[in-house]
Structure 1
């Protein structure tokens, strides 16, 4: 009977994954349902973007932020993520929510491709969003349903799991297609797009920048490295006129939380005030910022310290706690993220407009710095990209910070983070990825993915860390999938390896 219940629950979830979801307060972009039998792409895009960002931000707070030592939950109980003790039920949230939004993004494409609509802008945007969401899913779980996913309406309730290699190669095809579709495409309805207000040229730049992010992720995988590196070279050096990428923070892909209607940050109603104070900031995260006198930490609001990241000081200082401390030795929480109730002047990360970061220009510069360092591209030099990454990572949050007499060079010198060509390749990778770590602040699970890919930045491993002190390589599949889709689940495990957090995904394996 228990097995049958799981099957029923799984079937319901798989069907739900195939259906569009919505969020309140979208009236201003919705048309009267009595006038159209099907939803239009401009009705579907904003809800899908908002709900995807909601899932990414809420789960990053409790999961990836703990893994990469931004926060420390300070508990000796079971399931402490910062100890790499991850319960199986951690897997459900992202799987369920992201697959659900893929139905909406796919519907944006299918409705926009209808001859009666024929809107290349929405088609291209949809393909970029699908690539973005599928990449998060496969980098989190490994082999996943891809080619048959979200086909419940077509009667496919037990989709096959596809190999990560095949998923990535098809994602690249979709991004190529998106680049073609968006080339010269008219802008879409501004009110339907909370990221770029309908600007298809900026979506195209984001799509190609995302392409570079994902290409670099596979660049160390021997069986595809030559093709991947050649494509990076093509985009940046050879054929760059046909692959426009971000050129400034103006092009950053950010769902800006205005605080009005549906554009209210999910943290406002999704996280209690006491839950903001409960996790401490980690020593690794705080100590670097303090050492650098980083403006993201020290900018003043209404005369009170906290910076744009709204971090509470302790007795006038910013103090973190060591992640992975031994059980039974929990230190006292010092610094933490302000909530609206206790932040200076009502300022808090809870209501931060830039909290919906998808990909920013600083990240792209560090991607190019690594590509240049490793000889994948010939345009520019590592130092130039590195300096631009440092500068734009800060001006993303503080647009006017680098003015005379403060320059990026003077900031780097004072912080002792200047580029040094005499260092080893590994040391240069550490310099790039320490800065990239802060650039990826609260960008879904990207810090976790990059740490798994490169081993950088080197995070201290405390005595209380489990899993042989090895960073978890993936999340397990949701438990209900074992009963709802048993044959395909079994095949996926046989191909990838045991369904545990230590099994590496394809691109991590030698």
Structure 2
């Protein structure tokens, strides 16, 4: 369990840093060369990393389930956690590629199935929902587990149950607009948040967030520490990410209690006393664009607040995301509630996750910064306001910023003149090239059903 978690979170962090952050204008890996993700110029070999890593590690989660069903080792809590981690990992895979090997995957060793079929994403989601319902029931037994196996919750089974149901909410909201599953997804969101709340506990405060916190001891050393310090700080921060924080006087950019001088909580280096980003998607050869602010590496400023060794970078799902899910469900009439107050809770919990001792509050901060909730806006304007803040809640959370942008179109990203792909945000990663030869029959069936194996082919939940 612990080894598999460290590996999965590490894989997600590396892909978040080099892929999600470039697409979603958190960073700009400046170069005029080919294969620049921030210009939507994505080489097909980028597809291999997530596919190879997560499928390889999935066998650990399935073995974990199998071992916890045998004789004296029978343990419903481990079974439930295994189902949660399988669901979490498969959801990242299917949201990245679309249709994927699912029901027949990881059967090479036991069943000699080396060419698994690709399941339709709709069927994958349905089975994930079944797994999460089963996990909720198993985890309700609260059977003890060894806390040394658990780098996320230190053996707190109830918090694993909260993570499971919060993940359920994330995925339900992703597909609730689809006719094939709308009735079920709507009813299930209502059950989790209204009619059966006691049966489906969710993450309700920052302390219950699913985070593998890097302690710096033993195996729990951040994978970012494997990146050379000069490479970590070589990447510029994008205007879209930094300008909003700077212009709204966001407290995460300058809190004296977390350091001195210019070292802020997010470990961002100012330039000449100001936080300045680079426009993403700028044209190659534009000599007016120069690197400005960047993320400090661990050897700068004494390593204070560098994301290279930040415990919070092992982010899986946090309380702020749950609050923004609830706010959107209220906004769209799925559940009842006060969208303004829930929006405030999402903003405040996001700031307090990084700044537990912050003396302010969300409403005062938003009003003072002229970015308060506005009841007079239309639903699309409210969605933009909500997802502009959710964008920061999803900072460091695998590819969730990209997934949410593909689902909603928010937050609206500026489009530079140097973008490839006609300026169209990629809708998926292509399948690894070797899959075409090693599993050709099922590969062909998948693209016949889903569409061409290209990055603009929309996955099921993204299609109209």
Q: TM-score, normalised by structure 1?
A: 0.89
Secondary structure of 1:261's partner? coil
Q: 1:302-355 CA distances to partner (integer Å, 9 max, x unpaired)? A: 312232210111111100010000111151111001001113554311000111
Gaps of 5+ in 2: none
Aligned to 1:173: 130
- 2:429 maps to 475
Residues 267, 307 of structure 2: 8 Å contact kept: yes
- Number of the residue aligned with 2:460: 506
Q: Secondary structure of the residue that 2:219 maps to in structure 1?
A: helix
Aligned match for 2:203, one of 212, 232, 246:
246
1:400 to 357, 360, 382: 357
Q: SS at 2:242's partner residue?
A: helix
Does the residue aligned with 1:492 lie in a helix, a strand or coil?
helix
Distance in 1 of aligned mates of 2:61 and 2:225? 25
Cα distance in 2 between the residues matched to 1:414 and 1:479: 51
Residues 268 and 293 of structure 2 are in contact (CA less than 8 Å); yes or no, is this contact kept in structure 1? yes
What do the CA deviations read for 1:57-88 (whole angstroms, capped 9, x no partner)? 01111111000000011111111000101000
Residue 124 of structure 1, CA deviation = 0.4
- The yes-or-no answer on 1:145 pairing with 2:118 is no
Q: For each residue in 1:248-297, what CA deviation from the matched residue of structure 2 results, as whole angstroms up to 9, or x when unmatched?
A: 0011000000000100000112x111211221100010000001111112
Q: Partners in 1 of 2:378 and 2:420 — Cα distance?
A: 31
Residues 184, 201 of structure 1: 8 Å contact kept: no
Q: What is the rounded CA distance, in whole Å, between the counterparts of 1:343 and 1:443 in structure 2?
A: 26
Q: Structure 2-normalised TM-score?
A: 0.98
Deviations 1:347-385 (A, max 9, x none): 31100011101000000000000000001112x211111
43, 50, 64: which one pairs with 1:108?
64
Per-residue CA deviation, residues 137-181 of structure 1 (Å, 9 max, x unaligned), is: 000000000001111112011111000000000000000000000
Q: Does 1:50 align with 2:6?
A: yes
Specify which of 377, 382, 406 is matched with residue 428 of structure 1: 382
2:183 equivalent in structure 1: 226
SS at match of 1:167: helix
2:235 to 279, 291, 295: 279
CA distance in 2, matches of 1:446, 1:155: 34
SS where residue 385 of structure 2 aligns?
Answer: helix
Counterpart Cα distance in 2 of 1:320 and 1:344:
23
Q: Is the 8 A contact 1:302 1:345 kept in 2?
A: no
Cα distance in 2 between the residues matched to 1:365 and 1:230: 19
Distance 2:84 2:113 in 1: 24
Moved more, 125-134 or 410-419: 410-419
Structure 2 residue aligned with 1:21: none
**Aligned 8 A contact 2:76 2:141 in 1:** no
2:264 is equivalent to residue 310 of structure 1: no
Which residue number in structure 2 is paired with residue 79 of structure 1?
Answer: 35
Q: Could you give the per-residue CA deviations for residues 83-103 of structure 1, whole angstroms, max 9, x where no partner exists?
A: 101000000000000111110
Determine the C-alpha separation between the residues in 1 that align with 2:352 and 2:194: 26
- CA distance in structure 2 between the partners assigned to 1:386 and 1:302 by the alignment: 29
TM-superposed deviation, 1:187: 2.6
| SS of residue in 2 equivalent to 1:358 | strand
RMSD: 1.0
Q: Find the counterpart in structure 2 of residue 339 from structure 1.
A: 297
Are positions 1:186 and 2:143 aligned together? yes
Is contact 1:216-1:228 (8 Å) kept? Answer: yes
Q: Partners of 2:190 and 2:304 in 1: how far apart?
A: 47
Contact preservation (8 Å) 1:310, 1:343: no
Which residue, out of 160, 169, 174, partners 1:217?
Answer: 174
How many equivalent residue pairs?
A: 461
Q: Which runs of 5+ in 1 are unaligned?
A: 1-44
Contact kept? 2:295, 2:307, Cα under 8 Å: yes
Which runs of structure 2 are paired with 1:21-170 in the superposition (5 Å)? 45-153=1-109, 154-170=111-127
- Check whether the contact 1:128–1:175 (CA below 8 A) recurs between aligned residues: yes
